[in-house]
């Protein structure tokens, strides 16, 4: 059983494959992201990317490569972003 943190909230974005990498980079740059879930048109999770505060630079390159491969295969998708609420 997963325990939900009351200090987080979720946002969802609907994107085309070509917009995916730029949106992921933008979200990571914001820095208050806990997890990114990429779903296909049927709402099935394709990949779940857990992010920690220390993920930067070269550490994120393999993740972006995987996201790029997904973007090439899926034309329309949604991104569910779990953000950390700041008090």
Report residue 21 CA to chain centroid gap: 10
Q: What is the mean pLDDT of residues 13-39?
A: 85
Q: What pLDDT is recorded for position 86?
A: 66
Q: What pLDDT is recorded for position 14?
A: 92
C-alpha 56/C-alpha 1 separation (Å) is 30
- Say if 1 falls within a structural domain: no
Q: What pLDDT is recorded for position 2?
A: 41
Provide the residue range defining the domain that includes 36. 10-78
- Say if 87 falls within a structural domain: no
Q: What pLDDT is recorded for position 58?
A: 59
- Say if 84 falls within a structural domain: no
pTM of the model: 0.74
Q: Looking at the 3D structure of the chain, how many domains does it have?
A: 1
Taking only the tens place, the pLDDT of each residue in 30-79 is 777 888 899 988 889 988 888 765 555 556 777 778 888 888 877 788 89
- Say if 56 falls within a structural domain: yes
């Amino acid at each position: 059983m997963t325990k939900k943190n009351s200090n987080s909230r979720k946002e969802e974005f609907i994107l085309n494959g070509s917009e995916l990498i730029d949106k992921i980079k933008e979200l990571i740059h914001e820095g208050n992201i806990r997890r990114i879930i990429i779903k296909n048109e049927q709402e099935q999770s394709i990949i779940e990317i857990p992010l920690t505060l220390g993920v930067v630079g070269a550490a994120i390159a393999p993740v972006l490569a995987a996201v790029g491969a997904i973007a090439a295969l899926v034309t329309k998708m949604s991104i569910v972003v779990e953000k950390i609420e700041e008090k």
